[in-house]
Amino acid sequence: MQDVKICDTTLRDGEQTAGVVFANEEKLRIAKLLDKVGVDQIEAGVPVMGGDERESIEKIVDAELGASIMGWNRAVVSDVKASLDCGVDAVAVSVSTSDIHIDKKLNESREWVLNHMTQATEYAKSKGLYVSVNAEDSTRSDFEFLVEFAQRAKEAGADRLRYCDTVGIMTPLETHEAIKNLKKEVNIAIEMHTHNDFGLAAANALTGAKGGAKYIGTTVNGLGERAGNAPLEEIVMALKHLEDLDLGFNTSDFLELSEYVARASAQDLPVSKAIVGSNTFAHESGIHADGVLKDSETYEAFKPQEVGAERQLVIGKHSGKKAILAKFEKEYGIELTDEEAEVLLPKVRKMAVELKRALFDKELVSLYEELELERTEKTEEVV
Ligand code: MN
């Protein structure tokens, strides 16, 4: 796993998410942010759709980004012509290779699939384009046929094969085996395109790369058809920290990118979303908060700054005295005594249980002010 490259398809598969539409300006901004974080290739859309889709792809091409810009095509020469007209430097040429797709969706034969793929690929190569041949539904395809398809793609000049787990049915170990076996049969670069129907998209993409795939297809926040694709931020951070493979990404822009895509797609980031969710660096329970205050490595796999996030001490039902002391000192500039924190703690817990949530800053400060007021009144009574 030396030179893994990322092909991000937020603007194509990501926009195919049910209910998601990006405005052209948003597509351009997302492409610029993707380029800034460091993706190698951006699948920008489907040129043959024409209209706004075509216009946005042209704008992205005109932005002269560092990343390669890819257009998505059916295995049809007229689709590839539409991509050429947009000025992209790379094309995906996509056709199904599983019998269920060939029989039921296309109502065609394996021979038809091979012929169409070959024609479209040879045409694209004759125009100097980089070509990824996509074997849609690779994972449910007959292995012998998939090998033949990959071989024919290579002979037609394809630069790589996109191995698609279109319905997201693979497991990590199976994926590793499948890619290793395919690599043994055909010497062509492979891209992992994995779907998340069983929550394994990122795991399958990573094991595919371990099996010899050179490209990983991703989307920001894991957007994409149904349960989505492998999330860009999870893949890059897992490669960096778990596989010791630093792709040189500007990871501190991840939160900005994720939040922007969440807004543009109107798909809220789940609080527990790996890498960029708001709970990823939030600590409430007394033992965890105390540990993190002493050394963040006790309960964090990496520092929040690395992805542009901040650590948060959440004060609620599970908080302990140390967290309260730290919260008041660091965030409100109030140095509580141990005794004050001990008096506050049961009040905090009671309020959190009543509200069924953690406390806002305002609520915490007002609990403290009430405490001060009670004290003053007691003092006055004595006087
Ligand atoms: Mn897909």
The phi and psi torsions of 81 (rounded to 5 degrees) equal -60, -40
- For residues 314 and 377, membership in a common domain is answered with yes
CA of 225 to the centre of ligand 1 (A): 6
Check which CATH number belongs to the domain holding 14 and give it: 3.20.20.70
Q: Which amino acid is at 144?
A: E
Establish if 91 belongs to a structural domain: yes
Q: Which amino acid is at 242?
A: L
- For residues 259 and 289, membership in a common domain is answered with no
Establish if 275 belongs to a structural domain: no
Tell me which residue range forms the domain holding 367: 283-382
CA of 196 to the centre of ligand 1 (A): 10
CA of 291 to the centre of ligand 1 (A): 41
CA of 96 to the centre of ligand 1 (A): 12
Q: Which amino acid is at 29?
A: R
- For residues 230 and 375, membership in a common domain is answered with no
- For residues 73 and 111, membership in a common domain is answered with yes
CA of 119 to the centre of ligand 1 (A): 23
User: β-strand 68-74 against 41-45: which pairing, if any?
Assistant: parallel
CA of 279 to the centre of ligand 1 (A): 28
Residue 38 tokens read as: 């460091």
Query: Closest Cα to residue 293, out of 262, 254, 327?
Result: 327
Residue 31 contacts residue 42 (beta carbons within 8 Å): yes
- For residues 60 and 133, membership in a common domain is answered with yes
Which H or E run contains 32? helix 24-37
Give me the tens of pLDDT residue by residue for the chain, a chain 383 residues long.
778 999 999 999 999 999 999 999 999 999 999 999 999 999 999 999 999 999 999 999 999 999 999 999 999 999 999 999 999 999 999 999 999 999 999 999 999 999 999 999 999 999 999 999 999 999 999 999 999 999 999 999 999 999 999 999 999 999 999 999 999 999 999 999 999 999 999 999 999 999 999 999 999 999 999 999 999 999 999 999 999 999 999 999 999 999 999 999 999 999 999 999 999 999 988 888 889 989 999 999 999 999 999 999 999 999 999 999 999 999 999 999 999 999 999 999 999 999 999 999 999 999 999 998 988 888 777 76
The phi and psi torsions of 362 (rounded to 5 degrees) equal -55, -40
Residue 227 contacts residue 235 (beta carbons within 8 Å): no
- For residues 257 and 342, membership in a common domain is answered with no
Which residue, 265, 297, 316, sits at the end of a domain?
A: 265
- For residues 117 and 250, membership in a common domain is answered with yes
Residue 175 contacts residue 165 (beta carbons within 8 Å): yes
Residue 48 tokens read as: 């043959």
Mean pLDDT of the chain: 96
Which string of DSSP letters, residue by residue, matches 198-258?
A: TS-HHHHHHHHHHTT--EEEEBGGG-SSTT-B-BHHHHHHHHHHHS-------GGGHHHHH
Residues 6+ apart with CB under 8 A from 206: 172, 216, 235, 238, 239, 243
CA of 27 to the centre of ligand 1 (A): 18
Establish if 276 belongs to a structural domain: no
Instruction: Write down the pLDDT at residue 270.
Output: 95
Residue 72 contacts residue 88 (beta carbons within 8 Å): no
Establish if 359 belongs to a structural domain: yes
Residue 195 contacts residue 224 (beta carbons within 8 Å): yes
Length of the chain: 383
CA of 14 to the centre of ligand 1 (A): 8
Distances (CA, A) of 276 to 29, 48, 153, 248, 309: 19, 34, 38, 18, 8
CA of 383 to the centre of ligand 1 (A): 76
- For residues 153 and 295, membership in a common domain is answered with no
Query: Closest Cα to residue 183, out of 220, 218, 219, 208?
Result: 208
What is the number of structural domains in the chain? Answer: 2
Instruction: Write down the pLDDT at residue 84.
Output: 98
CA of 224 to the centre of ligand 1 (A): 7
CA of 30 to the centre of ligand 1 (A): 19
From the number of C-beta atoms within 10 Å of its C-beta (0-12, 13-18, 19+), residue 13 rates as buried
Which residue, 265, 295, 313, sits at the end of a domain?
A: 265
Which residue, 208, 231, 265, sits at the end of a domain?
A: 265
- For residues 248 and 363, membership in a common domain is answered with no
CA of 61 to the centre of ligand 1 (A): 22
Residue 58 tokens read as: 């042209």
pTM: 0.93
Q: How many helices (H) and strands (E) are present in the chain, helices listed first? A: 14, 10
CA of 321 to the centre of ligand 1 (A): 49
Instruction: Write down the pLDDT at residue 383.
Output: 64
Establish if 342 belongs to a structural domain: yes
- For residues 257 and 337, membership in a common domain is answered with no
Residue 216 contacts residue 205 (beta carbons within 8 Å): yes
Establish if 212 belongs to a structural domain: yes
Establish if 272 belongs to a structural domain: no
Instruction: Write down the pLDDT at residue 284.
Output: 87
Instruction: Write down the pLDDT at residue 286.
Output: 86
- For residues 229 and 364, membership in a common domain is answered with no
| ∠ Cα 312 313 314 (to 5°) | 105
CA of 104 to the centre of ligand 1 (A): 19
- For residues 299 and 250, membership in a common domain is answered with no
Q: Which amino acid is at 211?
A: G
Establish if 249 belongs to a structural domain: yes
